[in-house]
Structures are given as C-alpha cells and as structure tokens.
Chains A and B, each alone.
Chain A
Amino acid sequence: MDWLLIIVLLPLLAAAAIGFVPGSQRRVIRGITLGASGLSLLCALIAFCSFKVGSSELQFETKWIWVESLRLNFHLAADGINIGIILMGAIVAFAASCCADDITHRVKEFHILLNLMIGGILGTFASMDLFFFYFFHELALVPTFIMIGVWGRGANRNYATYKITLYLSLGALLALIGLIGVYVQTGAESFSIPDLIATVQESPIDESAQQWIFPLLMFGFGILASLWPFHTWAPLGYGAAPTATAMLHAGVLKKFGLYGIIRVAIPMAPVGAQSWLGVLAWLALANLLYCGLVAVRQKNLNLLIGNSSVAHMGFIFLGIASLNVIGLTGAVLVMIAHGLLAALAFGLSGHLYRQTGSLDMSRMGGLLRQMPLAGSALLMALFAGCGLPGFANFAGEVTIFFAAWAAGLKTITVIAAWSALVIGGLYMMRAIRNILHGPRGGDWAKASDVSPLIATALGLLLAALLVFGFAPWLLTNGIEDEVKKSVLLAKPAANASQAQATEAAGR
C-alpha cells in the first residue's frame, strides 16, 4: 500500500474540500480537518507498525516522473529515519487540528492554510527527492507566515511575521543553493536522495567543493532549526503564532533543518562535515547555554517555552556534531521527542491564553486546583522538558551525551550536561512553582479546564512521549540502520572502532 501517499494527500485534499464549503459552516470545516488529520494519523500508525525494521530497502514507495528533462521525480518513501518522524508529524498534526478551535474569525481560510501546512510538513519528511523535499517545506512555510500575520496574537505580531519570514527565507535559500551545489557537483544528474548517495559512494564530491557545500547546508538548515546566533526569530515567532501553527512549526516543521543536515549534508559532504562539525558543536553549546539562560529570565510562558525549545535544539546539534552512530541516532530520537513535547507545551499555553488572555507567569498560580487536567499535563510537559527519565527526551538526551563524550567533545559534554540539568531544571521548576502551585492567580476566576477534544490531543502526545520513553527501541532500531550508512560515508576507516564504541556505550 502507498501509505505515505495517502498520509500526504489526505490533508491536501481536505484543504481543497474546505474550499467548497461555505465559510459559515464552521463545524463542517473543523470536522473535515479533524477527519483528514485523524485518518492520516491512522495510516501513519499502520505504516509505522507494518514497517519492516532491518530491511535495507525503501518502503511504501510512490514514484512518479515529474520533469523528465531534469530528472525530477515525485518520490515518497520511508526508511528507518523518517518513518518515526512521519508518525510524530501525524500525531502532532492531529493534536494541532484538535487545538485549532480557538480561531473564531475567517475560520475557512485558516483551516485551508492549516491543512496545506500539514500536507507540506508530512510531504517534506516523506520525500526522497531533493526538489520535493524543498518544495513541500516551502508549501508548509508560506501558510505559516500568513497564519502568524493574520491570526497571530500580541502587539508586535507584524514585526514577528516579518522577522520569521525573512530569517526562514534566508535559511531556505542558503540551503537551496547548497542543494543545487550537491546536484551539480555529484554529476548524478538526479535529485533523488538514494541515487545521490549511491553516486557519492562511488565517487565522492570534490573535497574543495565539499568545503563550501557543507557550510551552506549547515547554516541554511541551521537557521531553519534556530541554530545560535540565528535563533531570535523562534521565541518571538512562536509567541505571536496561533496555537495550532506554533505546535506544528515548533514541533515538526522546524525539524526539517535538522533532518536535512542528517539526510543530505552529512552523506553528501562528509569531508566538509568533519572540518565544520567542531564549529557546530560550539554553536550547539551556545544554543544550550545562552538560550537556556535567556529562558530563565522569561516572565511570559510562551517565551519560556520558545526559548527552551531553542535550547533543546542544542542537544540535537550536538548529537549531529558527534558524527557517530549513537550521536545521530540520539539526535533523531530527540527530534521526535522534542516534536511531541513542543506540541504539548504550545497546545497547553494556547489553552491558558484562551482562558485568561495573558501568559504572564507572575499573575498565574494554583493552576493544578483550577484545571486538574491541564495542570497535570503541563506538569508532565515541564518535567519531560528537563529530561526526566521515562519520557522520550531523556532517552535521546542521554544517548547524545554518550555520543559526544565518545566523539572526544569532552569539555562541551560536561558543560552541556550541566546546563541541561541545572539551567533546564531551574526554569522548569520555577515555571512549575509559579503556574501550578501557590495561591490562585487573579485571572483564573472564569477559566475552565480543557475540553474533551483537547484533552484527547494532549493525552495522545503524552502517551507517545511515554511510550517512546520506555521503549525507545521502537524508533532506534530503524534509525540506527540508516544512520550507520551516513557514518560509514563520513568515516569509512573509523567504522570498525565505531561499532565497538556503540556496544561499549552499553545500549
């Protein structure tokens, strides 16, 4: 079955279908979005469960020729890395659709854009062709800008819209030049990722060319994934974005940059990677430390979540910079875990904002008594955010520490571990104290707990976090097989010792 095609097409068809529904039929419009994303989640679950781990072939393939003269194909397929991300994307998409009923004006337009964004997000991670990989990303990005601009909140949403648009466009364009460089330099005359990898296995890209292709991709994708010091768009943008948009972008779409580095940049330019990953490791540390410290100072819950989300990107960058099997595996694992977590956190903050019209933490308090359901969910989200064992984040983060240590980034590992535990613990605990405990805040009088629909969405996200936290092997077995291939390309000689290191790390 072409599960991936169904998963990607359902939201796009829903967008088209909503176009024919009159704008006054809000329930119908919401129903279509929920139905489409629910069905695509179901298909993603089936695909995930029927995915054969250990088979080196691409699964659930759909391949159509699009532009013959340029050898562009519409090519969807799953392997160990992206099947987990697609499942995570489908879960977050469903959760975001559940949380989208806070939009009350121009509902029809919002839902069309939301479905386009979901289709783009799922398509970008399912694409095995560089062109469509990029194309779907832009398809998701443009609605993001419009949604923030039209339905965003706060006084400076115009500024936020401009900032996020310019930053992300710059990142996407740098990455595009890098991708075109890959296409031109491999001489494979093809945009297909498997073809390109097969070509560079035979004859790697010229080393001097790798030295400029890798930084282009690293910074291009890095900007998209809020690499320090190009991260300032993220907290601001998420603070201004409507709930569903923030959930989808922070949760899934932002992972495009990280996925691109792992999927394209490292296999295509392994030599370039080795000379630039040192830089990336220090920038990752800056993400962890600087953005963590900024998060400590925040008084607004959304800005706190936004900054902590940027700080968490540091783990993933660090895992990538280790360039070994456990590091990249851990990076993909954190990508998935953080996607679920970010969606959970923004979904909750969206609910709180809707109830009280403010996210000022100094005026909150006693939330656990007022809203037991939302409060407990927030408690768990904040604990997962500081890496409590049992949540998927812990599994990924601890793997990355092992990897970074094994890769010889010892100083960075120590500082990163410290910052993750202490700084992360500090702001998360403060948030728990301020929001959940203590005397009841002034704005809570009329606030009510989450509706059953939102509770389902949040429960689903939490359940996924716990399932992958207790059984990370569900994801890592598949990821590891694929990641090995990239590492093999980067370090053919070191491969043997690498395998030992993997076992020594006591996985």
Chain B
Amino acid sequence: MGDQLQFIQLEVMVVALGLLVLLADLFLPESARRSLGYIAAGSLGLVFLLSFRGGYTDFADGEAFGGIYRLDGLALFFKRFFLLTAIFVLVFAVDFASRLRSGVSEYLAFILFALSGMMFAASANDFSLLFVAIELITVTFYILVSFQRHRMHSLEAGVKYLILGAVSSAFLVYGIALVFGEAGSLKFDAIRDAHAGLLENKVFLFGMLFVFAGLAFKISAFPFQIWAPDVYQGAPTPTTTFLAVGSKAAGFVLLIRLFGSVVPELTAQWTGMLMVVAALTILYGNLCALPQRNLKRLLAYSGIANAGYLLMGIVAQSDDGTAAILYYLAGYLFTLVAAFMIINLVTREGEGEDISCLAGLNKRSPFLAVALTLCAVSLAGIPPLAGFFGKFLLVKSVAAEAFGNTGYFALLAVAVFGVVVSIYYYFGIIRTIYWSKDTPDNSPVAIAWPTRMVLGLCVAAILYLGLLPDKPINWANAAAKIETVAK
C-alpha cells in the first residue's frame, strides 16, 4: 500500500497543503493572511519542481490501486499543467482578495482541492475515478463561482453552474452506468478490450454518447456551452481563469484518454459527429463573440471557439493531433492567465468589465498594454506567438488525415472562417487599447510584484512557445504517445 501511495504523492501534497491553509487561517492574524496565498503558491511551485524528481518520474508508465490510477507521460504533462495554472491562479487570488471580502483562506483552499481533482482526472484509468475526479472539480467550482456572496452576479452564476453542472453530471453517471452494463467493467483497460465488439450495441453507444456529453459540458463544446458566458462573467475573475484553463484542460485530458486510447474504434466511427461538434463550437463561439462588449464574456465565447479548435485535435485521431492539443493548451494557459489578470487590474470593483475600460491603457501602463496586445495577437493565431504555432499544429494534424475524408476540408474551412472572424474581435481589443478617442481614466495602474512576475513569465512563455518551438514540441510529442498496455 505504501508503495501505491507513492504514485499519488503529488495529489496528497496538494490536499495536505489545502488543509494546512485552512488550519493556518485559524491561527494567523488578519494582516498575515494576505500573504497566505503567496506561501501556498510558493509551496505549489515546490510540488511542481518535485514532479520532475527522478524518484517520482520513475513511477511513470505504471498503474496503482488495481489499475484505476495511471501515471504516464500524458498524466504527468497535465499534472504539471494544472499545477502551473493553480500557482498563477493563487497569485491572482491574492490580488483579488479585497474584492472577496470574506473567507479568503477558504477560497485558496478550494482552489487547491479543485486542483487535486484535476490532477486525479489526469490519471483516471477507470470510470469510477473519472467520475469522482470530475465531481471533486465541479463541486468545488460551485463554491468558487459563487464566492462573492455580496454580488448578485456571482450568486446567479453559481446557481446556473450548479443546475447545468448537475445535469451534466447526471449525463455522465447515466452514461457510465450504461457502459458498465454492457462492457461489464468500469476499468478502461477492460473497456478497451471489449469495445470493438460493442460498436453495434445501442446501449453501449448511448452510454458513451452520454459520457461524451458530460465531458463536452466541461470543455463547453456545442451544444453544452450555454452556461459558459454567464458563469465566466459572473464568477470572481480568478475562478473564471481557473475554470477557463484548468477545468477545460481536465475535460480534454479525459477526452484524449477516453476517445484517443480507450475506444479508438468508436472514435473512428463517430468522426462525422465529432467534426460537426467541433465545427459548430468554432462557429458558435466566434460568431457570438462578435457583438460582446464585456471582456470576460468575450473571452468566454472565445473560449468556446477555442474548445472547437482543440476538438480538431481529437477529430484528427493521431498522436500528432494529441500533441497539437497539448501544445495549444500550453499556449492557452499563459495567454488566458495574462489576459484575465490584466482585465482584473484595469477594472475597478463594482464596475463591469466593459471593453472601454481598456481605453488609454498604453498610457496608463505600457507594460500591460503590450502584454494584453500579445495575448490578443496570440489568441488570434498570428505568428510568431504561441497561439499561431498551436493552431498550425492542429490544422496540420487535421490536414494530414484529410486525404481519405473530404469532411475534413469542411472542418478546415470552418476553422479558417472562425479565425478570420476572431481576428475582428481580438483587434477590437487592441484598437481600444491604442487608439480610442475618449480616455476616461488616466491614472497609472499599480501592480504587485508577484503579479508582475507572473505576467512577465506568461509573456515570455507566449514568445518562447511561438519563437522556439523545437523543445516544447518534443515534450508534447513525448506526452502524446499514450502507451495502452501497461503492467
């Protein structure tokens, strides 16, 4: 048993850290609590470094707890991804603490608990662990979304997320039950062996469809995207960031594992459906983003569109496609963290995040202006930034499969259309920063040094992923090769 616990040492550390934060809250004076977030972020940084330790990576390609927990390249990649996201979100949360008004330590602890759920999801090799991990994420997010109890918007977002999240959980658990009924096991390894014989079995197909629907809700893919704009807008901004990056990536790691390695033949059979879902997600996200004036809402719709681009990697059904998803998500992480942090810095409490609040940002803080411009350009997929290279890899992986199936061309055409539309609204952001006529507020923006550090790191990463993709591509390729047989 002790040996088995070695596998989940990172998760254990994260949960322990969460409990410590809750405990520390009882003993620390009010004034010291502010720095609690920085301490937690620093500790997570340590955990992040530990994930590279030889003693831990030796367990790679192994399974634990009777095969329900799997530690492979993919899982390791995503664990590090989630850790990095959480570090940034914690730093962000300290900035945001004054707007939460109460329970700051609980807020930090819940971020850590959600993180542990995501890290478990990265390793899920069994439907029971998958469901538990997803619920751990979702339930903590119900609380994180409605944390600003004094704001109607936050509460409303929480209720919406609760109701729709419950529906998606119902889909998921119902689907799992049907799959279990036909395949006779919850273990991915067993389903992998059995699924080829079940491709005509309607009950199994329905089960998998429901599971897909449950995961599609997580990544906000069409037609399960309705919740995203309201929740993104209403939730406290650090929660929005965590939701947009972490929760979405958790959905994708499960999709990759399930549809990429557990039921590949079913995925091939469903290529058409997946293509339609990806195309509609891209279209819906981009077209609805066009008239948005609220920045968080705009990024929510752009997030839907990005889920569509990422689904293209699933549609490609190749290691290249998976690697492209990983690359894209990595770029997306740094871009969105920086974008939300900047939006938070320039807006004042009680005011909406209307796009006009960016007016004159280049005079208020040239650094923030340049950073947000880089984010917008990267999201628009213009070289030489991370977003371009990610999209390039995704398109390449789909084009590589396009030879046998003309449907892929339609998908590529939709993707191109989506990108052109998105350039319009991303450039709207840049336009407001640099050449809007009325600048209501010219006061300089104060930035705490940890925030400045995170922003600097994000900008550097966006540039690095765009300019020197050689090494990161190798990492993504290595992580994307999912070994299906393990002992």
Contact = CB atoms under 8 A, between A and B. Distances in A.
Interface string B451-475: 0000000000000000001100110
A165 B427 CA distance: 9
A169 B395 contact: no
B403 A173 contact: no
Contacts of B400: 184
Contact of A69 (B384, B409, B420, B477): B477
A146 to B, nearest CB: 8
A184 B399 contact: yes
B395 A66 contact: no
A68 interface: yes
A165 B423 contact: yes
A256 to B, nearest CB: 14
A158 B435 CA distance: 10
Interface stretch (A131-139, A304-312, A317-325, A350-358): A131-139
A477 to B, nearest CB: 35
Given A70-B473, A165-B427, 6 more contacts: A135-B383, A138-B383, A146-B430, A158-B431, A170-B416, A180-B392
Interface of A: 66-70, 134-135, 138-139, 142, 145-146, 149-150, 158, 161-162, 165-166, 169-170, 173-174, 176-177, 180-181, 183-185, 209, 212
A13 to B, nearest CB: 16
Contact of B416 (A68, A145, A161, A173): A173
Contacts of B419: 169, 173
A78 B388 CA distance: 27
Contacts of B423: 165-166, 169
A212 B409 contact: yes
Contacts of A185: 403
19 contacts: A67-B470, A67-B473, A68-B474, A69-B477, A70-B473, A138-B388, A150-B434, A158-B431, A162-B424, A166-B420, A166-B423, A169-B420, A173-B419, A174-B416, A177-B395, A180-B392, A181-B399, A183-B396, A184-B399
A311 B416 CA distance: 28
Contacts of A67: 469-470, 473
Interface string B377-398: 1000011100010001001100
Given A67-B470, A180-B399, A184-B402, A149 B384 contact: no
In terms of DSSP, what is the predominant structure of the interface of chain A?
Answer: helix
A209 B412 CA distance: 15
A68 B472 CA distance: 11
Minimum-distance CB pairs A-B, first 6: A67-B470, A138-B383, A173-B416, A180-B399, A170-B420, A184-B399
A181 B434 CA distance: 37
Contact of A68 (B377, B402, B470): B470
Nearest to B406: A212
A142 B434 contact: no
Contacts of A183: 396, 399
A302 to B, nearest CB: 21
A174 B417 CA distance: 10
Interface string B414-428: 001001100110010
A68 B473 CA distance: 9
A180 B400 CA distance: 9
B396 to A, nearest CB: 5
A209 B435 CA distance: 45
Contacts, number: 72
B435 A177 contact: no
Interface of B: 377, 382-384, 388, 392, 395-396, 399-400, 402-403, 409, 412, 416, 419-420, 423-424, 427, 430-431, 434-435, 469-470, 473-474, 477
B294 to A, nearest CB: 21
A149 B420 contact: no
Contacts of B473: 67, 69-70
A158 B424 CA distance: 12
A209 B403 contact: yes
A169 B418 CA distance: 11
A177 B469 contact: no
Contact of A149 (B377, B383, B434): B434
Contacts of B399: 177, 180-181, 183-184
A165 B430 CA distance: 13
A114 to B, nearest CB: 16
Contacts of B384: 135, 138-139
A67 B467 CA distance: 10
Contact of B435 (A149, A162, A166, A174): A149
A181 B395 CA distance: 10
Contacts of A181: 399, 402
A180 B470 contact: no
B403 A138 contact: no
Contacts of A169: 382, 419-420, 423
A139 B383 contact: yes
Given A142-B377, A209-B403, A173 B435 contact: no
A166 B477 CA distance: 33
A149 B435 CA distance: 8
A183 B397 CA distance: 11
Nearest to B400: A184
Nearest to A131: B392
A134 B435 contact: no
B412 A177 contact: yes
Contacts of A173: 416, 419-420
Contacts of A149: 431, 434-435
A166 B382 contact: no
A90 B443 CA distance: 43
A174 B399 CA distance: 13
A88 B427 CA distance: 32
A185 B408 CA distance: 14
Nearest to B416: A173
A161 B420 CA distance: 14
Contacts of B430: 146
B401 to A, nearest CB: 9
Contacts of A212: 409
A179 to B, nearest CB: 10
A219 to B, nearest CB: 12
Contacts of B383: 134-135, 138-139
A65 to B, nearest CB: 8
Contacts of A135: 383-384
Given A138-B382, A149-B435, A169-B420, A162 B427 contact: yes
A66 B412 contact: no
A106 to B, nearest CB: 10
Nearest to A185: B403
A145 B434 CA distance: 13
B402 A142 contact: no
A142 B402 CA distance: 30
B382 A176 contact: no
Instruction: Please indicate which of the listed interface residues A69, A149, A183 has the most CB atoms of chain B within 10 Å of its own CB.
Output: A69
Interface-centre pick from B377, B396, B420 (highest chain A CB count, 10 A): B420
Contacts of A176: 392, 395
A170 B420 CA distance: 6
B328 to A, nearest CB: 15
Contacts of B435: 149-150
